[in-house]
Structure 1
Amino acid sequence: MIIVAAAATVALLSLSGVSIRDMLADDQRLVVPYTAPSGLEPHRAHPTDAGADLCLANSVVLQPGDRKLAGTGVHVAIPTGYVGLLVPRSSLPHKYGVTLANSPGIIDSDYRGEIKLNLLNIDRKQVILPTGQRVAQLLIMPVELAQFRVTDALPQTVRGEGGHGSTGTGTAA
């Protein structure tokens, strides 16, 4: 079983001796191996969707303001040079008042455990999400593995140290 995501780069990167080029399907899409119980496989509603839907492995009851870590039953092997991003399905907050508390959630390439979702009920009523409910989407994106270097000073910019809400106001917050 595989998840297929568009490959933005074909750079050769090491993954246990396998290059990214070896992880590409014949149609030049990235292949991400996964395991999941039947019925919980990541899937796209449409072939061109950016994210693959993830479902709940077990039902979840959330009281107003509750947070719960909910399992999906899915394990993935994301290649080095890529990251998995977890975001709520757009209908989740709209229909149920539930979102992901840490959106986007990050799945690093060396993580092999079950994908779990940090659900948060932002509504004023109890929410019951059944087993198999599609609640999140998994996006596989290339990521630059930047090196950080200490310096005595940073280059100056017009914005400078202007923080939250300062853009276009002429004041630093």
Structure 2
Amino acid sequence: MTPNLQIRKVSSLPTIQWWTLNKNARQPWRASLGSAGYDLYVIHDVNISPQGQQLCHTGIGIKLPPGYYGQLFSRSSLALKHQVHVLGGVIDNDYRGEIKVCLHNLHISETYSCKAGERICQLVILPYLKGQWTQINQSPDVTDRGEQGFGSSNDIYWIPEKIIPGTKVWVKKYPTDKPRQAAIVVYPGDDKWYHVPLTQMFLQN
């Protein structure tokens, strides 16, 4: 006689614990199986004046798995249609208070309004690194980017592994332009590169 077999499905997904702090609170919800973020719902009416901001309450608390934190992101529809964005948004792993969302209305003339129970942002749960900080005397290596910041990565810099000091390159700003001779890439006796965007490189001389 064949014994009865019981098959139990065991979930390998990390557990996200949540609880309500208000009777109107709703469980975070993903719109689809492939969605990265969980929609969060506001428990009160919202009215944000142009260029203003408001702290919105969700009425829930969460406990995330070890090694994870929560990041609040703007909903694409609110950003596109109403110019409403999330400010801040880091939820530390050990935070146990109510999840609150700071919304900022970037519109210069229109007030943003929504009713209690509407979706106001997305919660994405991400891993984070817990490392040990060690102070050193200077930067340990040289990179292509170096100290270039604040938009400098819009251009990809071309730095050859071997180049003779004083070498010049030919570049063109637009595809229809005629290539012109640019400034020298490495000044004689200097160890600092003169960066040339890869998108403008035409020919090395």
Q: Same fold (TM over 0.5)?
A: yes
Of 88, 93, 98, 1:109 maps to: 93
Identity among equivalent pairs (%): 34
DSSP 3-state at the match of 1:92: helix
Higher relative contact order (CA 8 A, sep 6+): 1
Root-mean-square deviation over aligned CA pairs: 1.8
1:129 maps to a residue whose letter is: C
Q: How do residues 57-136 of structure 1 correspond to structure 2 at under 5 angstroms?
A: 57-102=43-88, 105-123=89-107, 124-136=109-121
Of 111, 125, 130, 1:140 maps to: 125
Q: Deviations over 1:13-32 (max 9, x none)?
A: xxxxxxxxxxxx93311111
**Structure 1: distance between partners of 2:58 and 2:25:** 11
**Structure 1: distance between partners of 2:152 and 2:79:** 29
Q: Deviations over 1:65-116 (max 9, x none)?
A: 11111111110001221010110111111222211122xx111110001111
- Structure 1 unpaired stretches of 5+: 1-24
Match of 1:52 in 2: 38
- Structure 2 unpaired stretches of 5+: 1-8, 158-194, 197-205
DSSP 3-state at the match of 2:15: strand
Q: Is the 8 A contact 1:80 1:110 kept in 2?
A: no
Aligned residue pairs, count: 145
**Structure 2: distance between partners of 1:44 and 1:134:** 11
Of 132, 151, 156, 1:165 maps to: 151
Q: Which has the larger radius of gyration?
A: 2
Q: Is the 8 A contact 2:41 2:119 kept in 1?
A: yes
Q: Deviations over 1:112-137 (max 9, x none)?
A: 01111110011121111110110111
Q: Deviations over 1:2-50 (max 9, x none)?
A: xxxxxxxxxxxxxxxxxxxxxxx93311111001245521011112211
2:41 maps to a residue whose letter is: C
**Structure 2: distance between partners of 1:97 and 1:122:** 5
**Structure 1: distance between partners of 2:128 and 2:110:** 39
With normalisation by structure 1, the TM-score equals 0.77
**What is the CA distance between 1:146 and its match in structure 2?**
1.9
1:51 maps to a residue whose letter is: G
**Structure 2: distance between partners of 1:96 and 1:133:** 14
